[in-house]
């Protein structure tokens, strides 16, 4: 199923933009990599292999099916340089604090900031920090399926550090972990933040991953990769919030591997950056695994927000439920491409996928493509997509109760988003998102 709705012509690469050699551009980016800040981590060979891979590639264009609706031409007009981490004060990140998540890791432009992080008293079963805090390195880094995708390989080639969250077998860690990734926008800067999350067998915890910007005078590109590995019977509740500045390009990858009987719950909110793309890949490698995905993209102005997802079943008795919502105003453009893959071995799978899209302007655009690829013959799977505007009879009903037409539209739009916002597990973050959502829908 593919639905494309807009009042504007089909996406093509930016008209009259200077032509750029995409292979040379990508090769130049990998030549900017810095030194790996992880002595003894054993990652040099991994970076070198990724570097060789990237140098054989080119920046994707709209001629590639996976990038058909996402034009990277604006990014190609920038001459990015490696970020020089700028010191920031604790006061600068006060607005992003979460009182109910006291354990916080802070990375500024991809570099660990221990002075801004608050780890507290942690048991030996819970490790938080960066690569240098993990003796012997991380054996799981760069090993997930899809690691050879162009921007993932670019991150591997250029990463200088990584956030590490490791919860030991059987540990039920009830205090949420807050990972705050801060970008200080400068003159066309490029950073490659990385995160590795290990949930050993039977462990449970909640992770809040938040991307924010301290606005400066120029563009910034954040090329992010997060790897999450769930052991047998593990449970991870993961909230990802991307609300970076208007001059930011954000390309992110979340790669998840689930062993048998594990449960992964993700709530993904995207409303920042000028151009944002998030690729979420989940591989259920064991039987009786459960995956629940809730996504919300909120765009205005001339933003472009692209969400690609893959849920791959490989064993029987798997379950997945995905709801992706987009609210698109002004001349913004939302893209959703979701795949659910059910091979012959994944019998008795139960999967559903729903894409719901709300257009607030006649110039807004959405391209949505939910996909089911099924070769198993004993499954229960469904998918669907809707694209609509606000119902005038619902607006009229609220007006008949004394509410203005403008306020009625705001209330209906807020209600459309509430299903996803309400899935955020932290009350502090949930209330903050609600407040910011209200302001965004009612800037006056």
The strand ranges marked E within 329-397 are: 333-342, 350-359, 365-374, 380-388
Q: How confident is the model over 85-144, as pLDDT tens digits?
A: 778 899 999 999 999 999 999 999 888 999 999 998 889 899 999 988 765 567 678 888
φ/ψ (deg, to 5) at 122 = -105, 140
pLDDT above 60: residue 7: no
DSSP state of 349: -
User: Where is 405: in which H helix or E strand?
Assistant: helix 405-421
- pLDDT, one tens digit per residue, over 195-205 is 999 999 999 99
Q: Give the global pTM.
A: 0.93
Which of the two residues, 335 and 7, has the higher pLDDT score? 335
Q: Give the Cα separation of 206 and 176 in Å (integer).
A: 5
Helix (H, G, I), strand (E, B) or coil at 372: strand
> How many CB atoms within 10 Å of residue 75?
17
Q: What are the residues facing 372 on neighbouring strands?
A: 340
The token duo for 285 is: 């490698």
Q: What is the pLDDT of residue 214?
A: 87
* pLDDT for residue 6: 46
How large is the C-alpha radius of gyration of the chain?
Answer: 21
User: Which phi and psi (to 5°) does residue 114 adopt?
Assistant: -65, -30
Contact 214/185 with Cβ under 8 angstroms? yes
Q: How far apart are CA 352 and CA 354, in angstroms?
A: 7
Q: How large is the average pLDDT for residues 57-62?
A: 95
Say yes or no to pLDDT of 8 above 50.
no
Looking at the DSSP bridge assignments, the partners of residue 357 are: 326, 387
CB 280 within 8 Å of CB 268: yes
Better pLDDT: 167 or 12: 167
Burial of 403 (0-12, 13-18, 19+ CB in 10 A): middle
CB under 8 Å to 114, separation ≥6 — which residues? none
**φ/ψ (deg, to 5) at 337:** -135, 105
- Percent of all residues in the chain with a pLDDT value above 90, rounded to a whole number: 73
Q: Of 169, 219, 182, give the one whose Cα is nearest residue 91.
A: 182
Residue 51 reports pLDDT greater than 70: yes
Cβ neighbours, 10 Å, residue 238: 21
CA 415 to chain centre: 23
- Partners of 224 in the β-ladder: 252
Residues 6+ apart with CB under 8 A from 264: 228, 230, 235, 236, 238, 256, 258, 282, 289, 290, 291, 292
In the numeric block, which tokens belong to residue 231?
């052991």
Q: Give the pLDDT mean for 213-224.
A: 83
User: Mean of the pLDDT values across residues 372-392?
Assistant: 93
* pLDDT for res 276: 97
Residue 404: CB atoms within 10 Å: 11
Average pLDDT of the residues in 19-46 = 81
Instruction: Using the predicted structure, report yes or no on whether residue 12 has a pLDDT greater than 60.
Output: no
CA 358, distance to chain mean position in Å, is: 21
Whole-angstrom distance, CA of residue 129 vs CA of residue 119:
8
d(CA 314, CA 320): 13
């Amino acid at each position: 199923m593919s639905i494309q709705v807009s009042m504007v012509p089909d996406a093509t690469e930016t008209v009259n933009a200077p032509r750029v050699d995409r292979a040379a551009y990508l090769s130049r980016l990998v030549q900017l990599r810095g030194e790996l800040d992880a002595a003894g981590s054993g990652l040099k060979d991994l970076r070198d292999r990724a570097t060789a891979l990237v140098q054989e590639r080119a920046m994707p264009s709209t001629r590639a099916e996976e990038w058909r609706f996402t034009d990277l031409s604006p990014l190609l007009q920038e001459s990015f340089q490696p970020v020089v981490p700028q010191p920031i004060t604790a006061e600068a990140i006060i607005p992003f604090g979460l009182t109910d998540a006291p354990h916080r890791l802070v990375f500024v432009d991809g570099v660990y900031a221990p002075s801004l992080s608050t780890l507290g008293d942690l048991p030996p079963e819970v490790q938080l920090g960066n690569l240098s805090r993990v003796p012997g390195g991380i054996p799981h880094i760069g090993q997930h399926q899809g690691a050879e995708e162009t921007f993932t390989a670019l991150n591997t080639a250029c990463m200088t550090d990584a956030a590490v969250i490791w919860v030991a077998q059987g540990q039920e860690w009830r205090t949420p972990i807050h990972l705050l990734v801060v970008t200080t926008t400068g003159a066309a800067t490029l950073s490659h933040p990385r995160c590795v999350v290990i949930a050993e067998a039977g462990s449970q915890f909640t992770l809040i991953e938040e991307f924010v910007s301290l606005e400066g005078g120029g563009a910034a590109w954040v090329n992010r990769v997060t790897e999450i590995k769930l052991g047998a019977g593990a449970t991870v509740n993961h909230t990802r919030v991307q609300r970076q500045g208007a001059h930011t390009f954000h390309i992110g990858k979340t790669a998840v591997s689930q062993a048998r009987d594990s449960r992964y719950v993700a709530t993904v909110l995207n409303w920042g950056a000028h151009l944002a793309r998030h690729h979420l890949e989940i591989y259920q490698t064991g039987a009786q695994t459960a995956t629940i995905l809730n996504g919300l993209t909120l765009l205005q102005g001339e933003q472009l927000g692209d969400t690609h997802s893959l849920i791959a079943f490989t064993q029987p008795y798997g379950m997945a439920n995905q709801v992706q919502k987009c609210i698109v105003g002004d001349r913004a453009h939302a893209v959703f491409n979701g795949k659910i893959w059910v091979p012959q071995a994944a019998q008795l799978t139960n999967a559903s996928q729903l894409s719901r899209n709300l257009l607030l302007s006649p110039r807004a655009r959405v391209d949505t493509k939910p996909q089911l690829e099924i070769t198993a013959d004993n499954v229960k799977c469904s998918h669907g997509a809707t694209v609509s505007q606000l119902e005038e009879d619902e607006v009229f009903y609220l007006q008949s109760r004394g509410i203005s037409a403008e306020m009625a539209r705001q209330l209906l739009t807020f209600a459309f988003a509430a299903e996803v916002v309400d899935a955020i597990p932290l009350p502090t973050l949930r209330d903050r998102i609600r407040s910011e959502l209200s302001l965004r829908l009612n800037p006056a």
